[in-house]
Chain A
């Protein structure tokens, strides 16, 4: 019974697989003969095909951004609070396209897929990808859908990097670029966190140099620790303090009590790590974190972001969150300064939020929601 879903939900959605067999030359020079992308769409493409909005996912995201997969499903897509009828990305107006990026582990071709040359899973041999490779495949998807220009390309974090890359690589193919909690390149500290997470994965004996599928194992311990490290950096000190403080889950500090003590935050993080490691592929995690590390918006523009953004034609919405220390407001201000110097149209807001980097996903933040909604409403279709 469809009416069991909330009224402002896109409701039941079904992922679709798009097969591409035009060979794709990747940024690193290797070639993929063919590949699949798994895609969900919400809303209707209008007759002029002018209302398409592309959602670019972040590190651990996928195509399932909104709605539900079965009638019994109670867990909506990862950005369901922001995509739907009457929501900031309003599916009454927009035709929303959300895909699992190449290299992903939710149905698109990636390390878990079969390498046609060997007949075995790619594993660690899957080519290293850069953000531009994703954008190139998203461009092919756009053409397949018969769309020649997106109303907007939208992304948070790593997704924001894809959106910015779109504005430079295909300037005529988008009218608006929405960049949330993102950066033009990672800082050394950011790369350091990613490398620590990767080392956690590599150090798990079950990782087997990335060929765990061949030997029938899963590096869940390593991936779990990697996720725990990441998760800490996605929350703010303050937010974590308010949510968990020093609360104990078990044990006590009473004199004479030697029962082992466990803090709430320990159990929470372990739970996050465990559940993630059962649904995500370690090689994909390595691949995605590397794509993050490698991204440098202005590298090929003589390291001049102003020169880079002179190539863009779209308008920009840039949003950051005050407690985000992984992609701090300072990183967004760098984007804004480059855009201003390049003469691009933009709006920039720094949203007061205790939710750290994850804030872009968190519902019930009135200012963020109102601003996002207002900007999207202003997009003519």
Chain B
């Protein structure tokens, strides 16, 4: 189980209604369904992801998140999750607003563009950062809206969203211990729990 998924799991109430935006291969949905007895739906756009979800027997709906979420009612879910997907959205701010409209609570996982290695690459090499976490070149990356942890929290404040919990993951590089000290410099993945 990926560490970020374990942290998400801690924030999910047993038996609650969960919507996973960009649910991928359904790993989190399967885990939450089995261990938390949640009633969950995943939205996914990739055929491979949908196929994997069906094979896992989790509820999956083919939907392009960029087309909006008008088909979901206000407060119709306890938690809406968006794991490693916000930065691929055409309109991340609108998506964040939609998430918190549909869910009583939102959980957002984002890669940190303010990580020290990213900063060093840009500063010394003068090139857009490419790493094992962000392995794409600028011209073919699905991640079209990068932000740092700080940027994300500023946006939340602007939108009057309360960050009730956050966790930082830094596994793959040096600075694991430092990530708690200065998450915006050493954290790789940030997990934010937000409420209206």
Contacts and interface: CB of A to CB of B under 8 A. Distances in A.
Interface of A: 317, 333, 336-337, 340-341, 343, 345-350, 367, 370-371, 374-375, 377-378
A348 B60 contact: yes
B54 A371 contact: yes
Contact of B50 (A336, A341, A349, A377): A349
Interface string B45-89: 001001101110101111000000001110010000000000000
21 contacts: A317-B54, A340-B71, A340-B72, A341-B73, A346-B59, A347-B50, A347-B54, A347-B59, A347-B60, A349-B47, A349-B50, A367-B47, A371-B50, A371-B54, A374-B51, A374-B54, A374-B55, A377-B55, A378-B54, A378-B55, A378-B57
Question: Mostly helix, strand, loop or mixed at chain B's interface?
Answer: mixed
B192 interface: no
B101 to A, nearest CB: 15
A346 B59 CA distance: 5
Contact of A341 (B39, B51, B54, B76): B76
Contacts of B59: 345-347
A367 B48 CA distance: 9
Interface string B30-44: 000000000101000
A349 B61 CA distance: 7
A347 B76 CA distance: 19
B71 A333 contact: yes
B62 A348 contact: yes
Contacts of A367: 47, 51
Contacts of A340: 41, 61, 71-72
Given A346-B59, A348-B60, A337 B71 contact: yes
B60 to A, nearest CB: 5
A190 B72 CA distance: 27
A349 B57 contact: no
A340 B62 CA distance: 13
A231 to B, nearest CB: 28
Contacts of B55: 374, 377-378
Nearest to A336: B61
Contact of A350 (B39, B53, B62): B62
A167 B196 CA distance: 38
Contacts of B50: 347, 349, 371
A110 B41 CA distance: 43
Given A336-B61, A340-B72, A374-B55, 17 more contacts: A317-B54, A333-B71, A340-B41, A345-B59, A347-B59, A347-B61, A348-B60, A348-B61, A349-B62, A350-B62, A367-B51, A371-B50, A371-B51, A374-B51, A374-B54, A375-B54, A378-B54
